[in-house]
Amino acid sequence: MSITVVKYGGHAMSAGSSFAQDVAALVKAGQKVVVVHGGGPQISAMLDRVGLTSEFRNGLRVTTPEVMQIARMVLLSVGKDLVGSLARAGAKAVSLSGEDGGLITARRVPQDIGLVGDVASIDPSLIHTLADNGYVPVVSTLAPDAEGVPHNLNADIAAGGLAIALRANKLVMITDVPGLYRNWPDASSLIEKITAQELEELLPSLEKGMVPKMEACLRAVRAGVPSAAIGTSLHAHGTVVLP
């Protein structure tokens, strides 16, 4: 049975959408769906409320231990909220993070930005167990490093890693823009289809949140995921990345 990995970004989430209904419909139609959620804007809002600031470097949040505490709290709560939305839409969902069942092990990124991890390894057996039994796994992207220290992972990067480890048929990145624009924000420059080679050439010119998103798509299609799509819903894909 085919597996779709869907990354649901924090910006898309705050815009409100038919996300839960769309996932529930896919599951009803016999597909396995794994949700990886973001929550960047929600973390920033909570940091604001408690009087902490954080900055982004190349799309990654500089994560001090204090920021990590808030990020973890917010992401786990976003996961539970999504389980609730999916349940109301008729899908049985279970939230978990990379910390559960040895799902993800993190490796500290080389940049000096604190407790930020990349995916070092993934053990997808817990995800398979859930998906094989009709549950929608909802993954919060926190993961311990080899010493057991929790790290903050960019959700796009983690979704790409999971799509590879699960041998997904498709990776879908749901965000607040219709797709990838060659000359952002020129609305006429939306890229409908792009190959891995073309994307690799374009990557250095991209900025902010698009950097980890497109890097994750590139890694996924290079590692055997047949396609990665970027759009505003499970059915609206402005951009498709092909090997």
Ligand X SMILES: Nc1ncnc2c1ncn2[C@@H]1O[C@H](COP(=O)(O)OP(=O)(O)O)[C@@H](O)[C@H]1O
Q: Is 212 in a helix, a strand, or coil?
A: helix
For 74-130, the DSSP string reads HHHHHHHHHHHHHHHTT--EEEEETTGGG-EEEEE-SSS-BSEEEEEEE-THHHHHH
Q: Which of 27, 209, 225, 228 binds ligand X (CB under 6 A)?
A: 209
The minimum distance between CB 212 and ligand X2W, in angstroms, equals: 7
Lookup: tokens for 99 = 């910390």
H or E stretch including 4? strand 3-8
The answer to whether the beta carbons of residues 142 and 98 sit under 8 Å apart is yes
Residue 177 near which of ligand X2W, ligand X, none (CB within 5-8 Å, type-dependent): ligand X
> Is residue 161 close enough to count as binding ligand X2W by CB under 6 A?
no
Q: Find the binding residues for ligand X in span 118-157 (CB under 6 A).
A: 156
Binding mask 30-69 vs ligand X2W (x if CB under 6 A, - otherwise)?
Answer: --------xxx--x----------------xx--------
Pick the closer one to ligand X2W by CB: 108 or 170.
108
Residue 61 near which of ligand X2W, ligand X, none (CB within 5-8 Å, type-dependent): ligand X2W
Instruction: Say how far apart CA 72 and CA 168 lie, in whole Å.
Output: 26
The minimum distance between CB 61 and ligand X2W, in angstroms, equals: 4
74 Cβ contact partners less than 8 Å away, ≥ 6 residues apart: 39, 42, 43, 46
Q: Which residues bind ligand X2W (CB under 6 A)?
A: 9-10, 38-40, 43, 60-61, 71, 116, 141, 152, 154-156, 209
- Annotated binding-site positions for substrate: 39-40, 61, 152
